């Protein structure tokens, strides 16, 4: 268990979230996305324009935002947008950091990996256009850490630079890596998150695996925990969170969303894509995360699950929660926002963690859309169709990824001074 670092006076120094930026199919900023999720709106529709994929074959939840630079990766543009929003939300102006109270050399940046520019493939099928003035060539953005480097360089963040590619757990794992950098004294503050944009290789691969849902009414396709569930739909989006030591946040007058109590990472050595029907690894992940946060199952009021809407994931995740929580599972609210936003793959962990922090802030549990006939084997309170107003103090976010990557984070609602739920006080960073 990683202990909180201590100040010179010996007092434990927790880590808190002070800024959030989100973009997804239901909104182009944090509050718009959160409003869409609260209202149970779906961003899913028929996909068009994917190279090599016939129009109308697949469903997805796209973001109506395009890069400003010709040929720039869309995932990079999405991450730049949410990084700007998260930093502004945290009252940080990176153009004047060194003249204020922030040290660039102790500002970490942890942004997950992504598919690089495959323009050379597109060029061979006759659709790659380099004639646009200022177009970025594939070799300028080929590496999977392109976005991490681009965002960190843009804002002059010279602390630890972290980039993992761990499928659907990437967002949470990079968040936990940033948390570790702060707790181990390598940084005072960090920008952490991930992004995802549609890519024909992903689309073709998921289609070939037969894990994608289809429905005559696109908005009803993704149905986590429902008897009629048939798979997930792909989504686009990104989220960034600013996390920092509490003393650091208080010193600069930052508002606070939540305290990061703990987290854990585990692995399931079963199969590259399939989950073990006996979820011992996922149970161990949940138990270790609660131990690291010094919480009992009864303390947790909300669980934001991975919730893909596949037969396998929903059953295994529900069983793991029931085994880890025991009777306390009856008192926890559980919801799957992929039912509205689609599966954001690399971005899913960070977007859903950000939504979890907002749920704590506002005392509102988002719904699981399209849950009309709940599978009795998923015997949890899955918040069907309509969200629920409920003030909870502690929440758990779980990610379950291809390759056996498992990750979870526990948060505590911040209710003291500088709470994000209070009217904002304007201060210079």
Query: What is the set of active-site residues?
Result: 168, 306, 343
Say how far apart CA 79 and CA 156 lie, in whole Å.
Answer: 15
Q: What is the DSSP string of 286-331?
A: HHHHHHHHT--GGG--EEE------HHHHHHHHHHHHHHHGGGGGG
Yes or no: say if 238 and 276 are a contact pair by the CB < 8 Å rule.
no
Instruction: Give residue 40's Cα distance to chain centre.
Output: 18
Give the helix/strand (H/E) hosting 17: strand 15-24
Question: In the beta sheet, which residues pair with residue 205?
Answer: none
Q: Which residue has the tokens 């843009």?
A: 154
Crossing angle (nearest 10°) for helices 311-325 and 280-293: 50
Q: What is the token pair recorded at 377?
A: 């084997």
Q: What percent of the chain is helix, strand and coil (3-state, nearest 5)? A: 35, 20, 45
Q: Is the dihedral of CA 281, 283, 287, 289 positive or negative?
A: positive
Residue 328: is it exposed, middle or buried by C-beta count within 10 angstroms (0-12/13-18/19+)? middle
Say how far apart CA 416 and CA 38 lie, in whole Å.
Answer: 25
Residue 118: is it exposed, middle or buried by C-beta count within 10 angstroms (0-12/13-18/19+)? middle
């Amino acid at each position: 268990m990683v202990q909180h670092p201590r100040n010179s006076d010996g007092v434990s120094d927790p880590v808190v979230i002070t800024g959030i930026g989100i973009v997804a199919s239901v909104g182009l900023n944090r509050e718009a996305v959160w409003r869409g999720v609260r209202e149970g709106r779906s961003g899913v529709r028929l996909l068009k324009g994917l190279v090599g994929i016939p129009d109308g074959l697949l469903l997805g939840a796209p973001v109506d935002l395009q890069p400003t630079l010709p040929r720039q990766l869309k995932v990079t543009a999405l991450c730049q947008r949410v990084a700007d929003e998260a930093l502004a939300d945290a009252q940080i102006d990176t153009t004047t950091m060194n003249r204020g109270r922030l040290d660039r050399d102790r500002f970490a940046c942890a942004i997950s990996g992504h598919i690089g520019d495959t323009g050379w493939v597109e060029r061979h099928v006759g659709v790659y256009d380099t004639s646009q003035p200022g177009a970025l060539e594939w070799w300028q953005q080929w590496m999977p850490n392109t976005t991490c480097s681009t965002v960190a360089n843009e804002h002059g963040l010279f602390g630890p630079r972290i980039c993992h590619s761990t499928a659907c757990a990437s967002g949470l794992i990079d968040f936990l890596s940033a948390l570790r950098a702060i707790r181990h004294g390598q940084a005072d503050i960090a920008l952490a998150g991930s992004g995802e944009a549609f890519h024909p290789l992903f689309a073709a691969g998921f289609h070939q695996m037969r894990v994608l849902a289809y429905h005559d009414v696109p908005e009803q396709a993704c149905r986590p925990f429902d008897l009629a569930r048939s798979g997930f739909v792909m989504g686009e989006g990104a989220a960034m969170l600013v996390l920092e030591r509490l003393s650091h946040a208080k010193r600069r007058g930052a508002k606070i969303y939540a305290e990061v109590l703990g987290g854990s990472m585990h692995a399931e050595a079963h199969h590259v894509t399939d989950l073990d029907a006996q979820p011992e690894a996922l149970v161990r992940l949940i138990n270790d995360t609660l131990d690291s946060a010094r919480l009992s199952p009864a303390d947790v009021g909300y669980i934001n699950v991975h919730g893909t809407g596949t037969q396998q994931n929903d059953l295994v995740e529900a069983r793991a929660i029931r085994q880890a929580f025991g009777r306390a599972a009856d008192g926890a609210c559980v919801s799957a926002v992929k039912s509205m936003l689609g599966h954001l793959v690399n971005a899913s962990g960070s977007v859903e963690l950000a939504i979890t922090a907002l749920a704590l802030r506002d005392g509102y549990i988002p719904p699981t859309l399209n849950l009309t006939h709940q599978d009795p084997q998923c015997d949890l309170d899955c918040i069907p169709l309509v969200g629920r107003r409920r003030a909870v103090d502690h929440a758990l976010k779980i990610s379950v990824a291809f390759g056996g990557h498992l990750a979870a984070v526990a948060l505590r609602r911040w209710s003291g001074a500088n709470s994000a739920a209070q009217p904002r006080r304007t201060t210079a960073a």
